[in-house]
Amino acid sequence: VVDLEKMGGSAAVLAKGRATLDRGTLTVALHGGRELAEGRRALRDPTVVELVARHYGERVKVDVDALLDTGTENDRQKALARKVLADPDVKRVVDALGATLLRAVPLTDGE
């Protein structure tokens, strides 16, 4: 959203993230650490929330996640879990079993 870039500060950091819209949730992926913290801070600004709602629709939920392989281990785990649960087939199985995802492991980790 161009207006976010013009605002500067945390809003500009949020605008530079990799945004994906899936089933009413706009997820903005940012590098972990300071960038991730700035993105989360931007979402507490009512002006930012209003601009995002105007651009994507008022009912969209906005979330900020760490890009995979950046940020803390906790940030990476949350991002990977969201990615796994975004898969419709996985979600269907989890829902059918009444299961809870405790941990997700990238296939490249060799576990």
Distance separating alpha carbons of residues 39 and 31, to the nearest angstrom: 10
Output the average pLDDT for the chain: 86
Summarised one tens digit per residue, pLDDT across range 49-72 is: 999 999 888 888 898 988 877 777
Phi-psi group of 97: left, alpha or beta (phi > 0 → left; psi -120 to 50 → alpha; rest → beta): alpha
Judged on CB neighbours under 10 Å (0-12, 13-18, 19+), 84 is middle
Summarised one tens digit per residue, pLDDT across range 10-33 is: 999 999 999 988 888 899 999 888
* Highest mean pLDDT of the ranges 43-47, 66-70, 81-85, 100-104: 43-47
86, 74 in Cβ contact below 8 A? no
Q: What is the pLDDT of residue 110?
A: 52
Distance separating alpha carbons of residues 41 and 43, to the nearest angstrom: 5
Domain ranges of the chain: 2-109
